Amino acid sequence: MKIFKQLVLIIAFTLIGNLLSYLLSLIHFPFPGSLIGMLLLFLFLLVGWIKMDSIHDVGQFFIDNMGIFFVPASIAILKQVELISQIWWKLIIIILGAFVISFIATYYSVKLTLYIQNRVSKQKETAKEEETL
């Protein structure tokens, strides 16, 4: 029964996300329902309205079996070989460009995070030194 409740909770957030996506599409603001559902679930977990234990087992099952969810998408791509063969070089450029952009964004994000951490630790050290004086 515990697994069933966890599955119902995850499906409920998916359905709520899809409903909100539909409502947003009515005002010409398309946004993926699955992403809305994940963001809502994340916010509920962050605020504490839902505890991690209430979705952990089913979530772990989905993560452990994630590969199987890519099979339909892979088959759909393989069915479009004729289309892909005409634009393969554009896809390669897009993939490489996305990789470079992601790499650079990650680099600067880590660099900024380390800078902020060093600055905060120096402020704490300065505060401790002032307390001892």
126 token code pair? 């300065």
Report the domain count for the chain.
2
Q: Are residues 65 and 75 in the same domain?
A: no
In terms of domains, do 23 and 80 share one? no
Predicted TM-score (pTM) of this structure = 0.59
Q: In the prediction, which pLDDT does 14 show?
A: 94
Q: Residue 130 above 90 pLDDT?
A: no
3-state SS class at 130: helix
- Return the higher-pLDDT residue of 104 and 82: 104
- The verdict on 131 and 75 lying in the same domain is yes
Q: Is 39 exposed, middle or buried (0-12, 13-18, 19+ CB in 10 A)?
A: middle
pLDDT of residue 126: 87
Domain, as residue range, for 78: 70-133
- Pairwise CA distance, residues 43 & 37, whole Å: 10
Indicate if the pLDDT at residue 59 is higher than 80.
yes
Q: What is the mean pLDDT of residues 75-87?
A: 88
pLDDT in the model for residue 57 = 93
Mean pLDDT of 37-63: 93
